Amino acid sequence: MPDRGGGPSGPRIRVGRPSRRVRTLLMTLGVLAVLGMAFTMFAGFWTDWLWYRSVNYSSVFTTTLWTKIGLFFVFGVLMALAVGFNIWLAHRLRPPLSAMSMEQQNLDRYRMGIAPYKKWLLFGITALVGLIAGASASGQWRTWLMWVNGVPFGQKDPQFKLDVSFYAFDLPWYRFLLGFGFAAAILSVIAAALTHYLYGGLRVTSPGARATAAATGHLSVLIGIFVALKAVAYWLDRYGLAVKSSDFRATDNWTGLRYVDANAYLPAKTILFCIAVICALLFFATIWRRTWQLPVIGFGLMVLSAILIGGLYPAIVQKFQVQPNEQAKEAPYVEKNLEATRQAYGIDGTKVTDYSGTGNTEDKTKLRDDVGSTASIRIMDPNIVSPTFQQLQQIRNYYAFPENLDVDRYAKDGKDQDTVIGLREINLAGIPKKNWINNHFRYTHGYGVVAAKGTSADAQGRPNFTESDLPSKGDLGTYEQRVYYGEKTTTYSIVGGPQKEIDYSDDNGEKTTSYKGDSGVNLSNPVNRAAYAVAFGEPQILYSGAIGDGSRILYNRTPKERVEAVAPWLTIDGDAYPAVVNGQIQWIVDAYTTTNGYPYSSRTTLGDTTADSLTATNDNRAVVAQQNQVNYIRNSVKATVDAYTGEVKLYQWDTKDPVLKTWMKAFPNTVEPKSDISKDLMDHLRYPQDLFKVQRELLTRYHVKDATTFLSGSEVWQVPDDPTNRSGSAVPPYYLSMKMPDQKAQAFSLTTTFTPTGRDNLSAFMAVDAEAGTSDYGKIRILKLPTNTTVNGPKQVQSQFNSQEDIAESIRLLRGGDSEVEYGNLLTVPLDGGLLYVEPVYVRGGGLKYPLLRKVLVTYGGQTAFENTLDEALNKVFGADGPTTEPPDEGDTTTPPPTSDNPTVQQALEDAQKAFDAGQEALKKNDWEAYGKAQNDLEDALRRAEDAQSEASRTGGAGGGESKPGEEPSGSPSGSPSPKPSS
C-alpha cells in the first residue's frame, strides 16, 4: 500500500488464492452439499414409491409420475425450441453493418460483451423458459389423462349438439394447448425483438428505417401466429359459452347460454374469428410486401371489432331486446339450464309432493300408535354424546373418541337398530410419559368399537351401550379390535420389530403385542431407514436399536389420506365412518367424481355448499377440495380402509358414470367392480352427507321445473340455520330410520328442512333413501308445504320451546349451579299430514365432564311437551298412552330419572330455586358476600336433592331404580336439580 502520510506504513497484506488445503475443504463441502440435496430429493421420491408399493397401488404412482415427466419434457422442449429458434433466427437475420449512431455505438459494447458467451446465453435462456413451461405443463396431468382416455356421456348439449364429453374432457385440453401457444408466441416475439434490437435489426433513435426487411418479416410472422391463435380462441369461445358462468337473477354461477349469448355473443365470436383469420393472413403477407401498413390496419380493425361487436353490440341487445321482455326471451334458455342442472347433480328424479303440514289431531290414540311405525326417533345425538363415550368408555387416557360420532345400522333379533358408533383410537396426548419410543413404538394403536342404541338412554341419561368395555364385547360378535388406522391417528408408528407394543390394560396389568399385518414399509433395508430418517427429519430412525428384523413403519394413517393418495382423481367426502364387516373394522369412505365442464349446468363451490354447523366447529368434517367449483358430481366410488391392515379398496358404485369410466381407463385395475361388494359391507353403506348437502343447496332453486316460476323467484328456499347452537351456520342433515307418506315401511334416510328465503316458517321437508342395496336407494322425496298457511320451521319451534313458561322454568332449573344445558339434534318427522318435532336435551352438570340425557322436547299440532323420556313426552302431546318407541331389551334400564314426586326431593328443589333466585338478586346488587352465601345454600340444597333421590332409588321409592355400583345416582348429574313437572 502506498504511504499516504501520517506515519510509517504498516506491513503489506497480500491477497492471493486460498491454499490447497482450503480449496480441497471447500470443494469437499460443496460436493457434500450437492450430495445432501440430491439424497433429500431421492428420499422424498423413494419413500413415496415404497408407500404406494406397500398399499398395492404402485401403478397409480408410476402412471402419474410418467405422465408428469412426459408432459414436462414435451412441452418444456417445445417451448425451449420455439424461443431458442427465434433467438437464433433473429441473430442469423442481423444486418451485416450497423448504422453509425450513438444508439448503435452504445449497443456495440453489449454485443462485444456477450460475444464470447452467446451459445451459453442462448442455452441458459432456452433452458429457463423450458423448465418453467415444463413445470406448468406437468401440472396438467389430469387434463391430459381425461382427454386421452375420455369416454362419451351419451348426452348432447342443446346448442351445438356435441357430446358432453367434448366440454368435460376435450375443451379443457384444447384451452391448455391454446394458452401454451399464446405463451410461446409472446415469448418468441419478445425474444426475437430484443435480439433484433441488440444486433441492429430494430432501431429506435437511429436515422433511416426503423426495422430491416428481415426483422420486419420475422416479427410479422410471429405476430401473425399470435393473431391466428386468437382466431382459434374466438372459435373455441363459441363452445365455451355453453359452460360460461354468470350471475343471473340472483343465481350465482349460472352456467350456459342466455338470449344475449345465443343472439349476440355467438354471432359476434364467429365474425371476430373471420376477422382474425384475415388479419393473420395480412401479417403473413409481409414476408413478400415488407411493410406493416396493411397488417397494422387489420389489427386495428380486429381490436375495434372486438370492442364494437364483442362488447357494445351484446350490451345493446341486452338493454333493448331482453330487458323489456326478459321473461319471454330467457325462458327457453332457463329450461335448458333447469334440465341440465338437475341431470348433472342427480336431482332430476326428485319427487315433490304437496303436504298440508297440519295433521288431523282428532284421533290422538291412532297418532300415538303411528309414531313407532313412522320413525325410530333417535334421541342419542352423535354430535353431543362423544364426551359421554369418552368418560364412560375411554378406559385409559391414551385412548380417545372423535368429536363427532357416527350413525349406522346393526341388526338385533332380525331388526335393524339405528346405532351411534365410535372407535377407541390412540391418543398420544394422554400417554403417561412422552418420548420417542413411547410415541412411535409402544403406543401404536387404539382398541375396540363402542356402540350404543340411538333410540334410547338408560335411567341416568347415559347411552344404552350395545358394545362396550375393554376389550370390547357385546352385540357385534368377534372381530379384530386393534385400530392402527383411524381419523385421530395422524403420526407414524414403527411396529413389528423387537420393541413390543402396548395392546391394552386390564386388572392384571398391561398386555403387549407385536403387529402381525403386512402393512407399512419394511425398515430392515438400511437405504429405507436412511430415506425415512431424512424424509421425517428423525435421525434416530437410522440408528435406533428398537428397529430390527420385521420392523415396519406405518404412516398416512387416516382413511381420507389413504384414499386420496391412491385415487388423487377423486374428491373425498368429509365424514369417513367405521363399521364392523366380516370380522374386521372397516372405515367406509365415500368418494366423488366431478367436473366443471357440464354444459348448461350451474356451478357450485363444494366448500360453501357442504358447510354447516358441524363443519364450522370441526375441521375433520370438511370436504377436502374446499374451493373446487363443479357443475357435475357423482358418488361413483365407495372405498374401504381396514383399521388393522390399512388395506384400501375402491369399489365402482355408479356403473354408468362416464367420468369414473374415464379414470378407470387411465388407471386400470385400481377400482374393483360393484359385484365384489359383500352383503355384510353393503348393509353398512349409506347415502353420503356431502353429496346430499350439495343436492339440497341446488334444490333450494331447482326443485321447480318450469322457467316462469324459476324466473319469478317466488319459490326460492333456503337451508335454515341450526337453531340448537349459535354458529350461524346451516343445520346439518340427520340420518334417521323413518317412513315417508308414500312408503310402506321405515327406511334408513337422510333428512333436512327448507324455509322460504328470509323467513323462518317451513317450506318443505326433504329426505333421501340412504339404505344401500335397496331399489329406492338415492330416491329424493320432498314434501312441499302450502304457501298460504304458516307452518313453524326449526327456528320457530326452538323459540317456542325456549319461550314456553313452564319449559323455560325447567330449563332454568337444569342450568342451576354450574350445570350447562346442551340441545341435541332437532329432528323433524312427517306424521299423518303434520310434522312431529323431537329434540333431546342434555345436561352437563356439577363435576361431571360429560352430557347426560335429561329431557326430551316434543311438539306436534301446536301441543308441546318437555318430559323425562320420549314416551312420556309423546303421551303428553297426544293425550294418550301408546307402545314404547323402543322396546326394552333384557337387562335394559328404561326407568325414567326420578322426578319431584318425592316430597323430600320436592322440598330440596324448592330450596335450590330460592337460593338460585337469591344469588341472581345479589349479582344485580353487586353484593358478593350475599352471592357467596346463596351459592353455598344452592350447593347444599342440590346435595340434599341428590341424596334424597339416591335414597329413593335404593329403597324403591317413587321413580327410583336401583343404581349399579360405581354409577352416579339416577338423579340430576352432580348437583343439577331435576326440573319441576311441566304440567
Query: Cα separation of 484 and 562, whole Å?
Result: 13
Cell 343472439, residue? Answer: 263
Please answer whether residues 416 and 392 qualify as being in contact, where contact means their C-beta atoms are separated by less than 8 angstroms: no
Residue 983, Cβ density class (10 Å: 0-12 exposed, 13-18 middle, ≥19 buried): exposed
Helix (H) or strand (E) holding 636: strand 632-642
Q: Lowest-pLDDT range, 240-254, 655-669, 777-791?
A: 240-254
| Residue 608 confidence (pLDDT) | 85
Q: Give yes or no for residue 627 having a pLDDT over 90.
A: no
Query: Cα separation of 356 and 838, whole Å?
Result: 19
Q: Give yes or no for residue 689 having a pLDDT over 50.
A: yes
Average pLDDT over every residue of 930-946: 70
Of the two residues 595 and 117, the one the predictor is more confident about is 595
Q: Give yes or no for residue 956 having a pLDDT over 70.
A: no
Query: Cα separation of 554 and 536, whole Å?
Result: 12
Query: Which range in 609-618, 621-630, 687-696 is most confidently predicted, on average pLDDT?
Result: 687-696
Helix (H) or strand (E) holding 273: helix 266-289
| Residue 861 confidence (pLDDT) | 83
Q: Give yes or no for residue 595 having a pLDDT over 90.
A: yes
192-218 in b/e form (b: 16+ CB < 10 A) is: bbebbbbbbbbbeebeeeebbebbbbb
Computed from CA positions of residues 866, 867, 873, 878, in that sequence, does the dihedral angle turn out positive or negative? negative
Please answer whether residues 448 and 481 qualify as being in contact, where contact means their C-beta atoms are separated by less than 8 angstroms: yes
Of the two residues 110 and 78, the one the predictor is more confident about is 78
Query: Cα separation of 623 and 574, whole Å?
Result: 5
Q: Give yes or no for residue 417 having a pLDDT over 60.
A: yes
Average pLDDT over every residue of 394-399: 89
| Residue 615 confidence (pLDDT) | 74
Average pLDDT over every residue of 256-267: 92
The CA-atom distances, in angstroms, between 628 and each of 153, 240, 255, 571 are 22, 19, 16, 9
Contacts made by residues 312-319, CB under 8 angstroms, sequence distance 24+: 313/264, 313/268, 314/260, 314/261, 314/264, 314/265, 314/268, 317/259, 317/260, 317/263, 317/264, 318/260, 318/264
The CA-atom distances, in angstroms, between 254 and each of 310, 599, 715, 737, 772 are 20, 11, 17, 36, 33
Please answer whether residues 384 and 824 qualify as being in contact, where contact means their C-beta atoms are separated by less than 8 angstroms: yes
| Residue 927 confidence (pLDDT) | 65
The CA-atom distances, in angstroms, between 315 and each of 600, 641, 809 are 21, 55, 63
| Residue 893 confidence (pLDDT) | 38
Average pLDDT over every residue of 46-60: 94
Per-residue pLDDT tens for 327-378?
889 899 999 999 999 999 999 999 999 998 887 766 778 888 888 889 999 9
| Residue 249 confidence (pLDDT) | 64
Q: Give yes or no for residue 869 having a pLDDT over 80.
A: yes
Share of the chain above pLDDT 70, in %: 85
Average pLDDT over every residue of 211-228: 89
Of the two residues 431 and 650, the one the predictor is more confident about is 650
Residue 719, Cβ density class (10 Å: 0-12 exposed, 13-18 middle, ≥19 buried): buried
Beta-carbon contacts of 747 under 8 Å, excluding residues fewer than 6 positions away, are: 737, 738, 739, 769, 770, 771, 774, 776
Per-residue pLDDT tens for 704-754?
988 888 888 888 999 998 888 777 788 999 999 999 999 989 999 999 999
Average pLDDT over every residue of 520-530: 91
| Residue 97 confidence (pLDDT) | 62
Please answer whether residues 738 and 767 qualify as being in contact, where contact means their C-beta atoms are separated by less than 8 angstroms: yes
| Residue 940 confidence (pLDDT) | 74
Per-residue pLDDT tens for 99-143?
666 666 666 776 777 777 888 888 999 999 999 999 999 999 999
Average pLDDT over every residue of 638-653: 96
Please answer whether residues 919 and 934 qualify as being in contact, where contact means their C-beta atoms are separated by less than 8 angstroms: yes
Average pLDDT over every residue of 584-600: 95
| Residue 207 confidence (pLDDT) | 59
| Residue 815 confidence (pLDDT) | 81
| Residue 104 confidence (pLDDT) | 65
| Residue 174 confidence (pLDDT) | 96
Please state whether beta strands 780-784 and 351-354 pair in parallel, antiparallel, or not at all (unpaired): parallel
| Residue 622 confidence (pLDDT) | 55
| pTM for the whole structure | 0.84
CB atoms within 10 A of CB 324: 9
Per-residue pLDDT tens for 822-839?
899 999 999 988 999 999
Q: Cis check for the bond before 471: say yes or no (omega within 30 of 0).
A: yes
Share of the chain above pLDDT 90, in %: 51
41-68 in b/e form (b: 16+ CB < 10 A) is: ebbeebbebbbbebbebeebbebbbebb
Q: Mark out the alpha helices in 452-491 (DSSP H runs).
A: none
Per-residue pLDDT tens for 286-308?
877 767 777 788 888 888 888 88
SS (H, E, C) 562-588: HHHHHCCCCEECCCCEEEEECCEEEEE
Query: Cα separation of 764 and 334, whole Å?
Result: 23
Q: How big is the chain, counted in residues?
A: 983
Query: Cα separation of 305 and 154, whole Å?
Result: 38
Average model confidence (pLDDT) across the chain? 84
Residue 933's pLDDT band (boundaries 50, 70, 90)?
A: confident
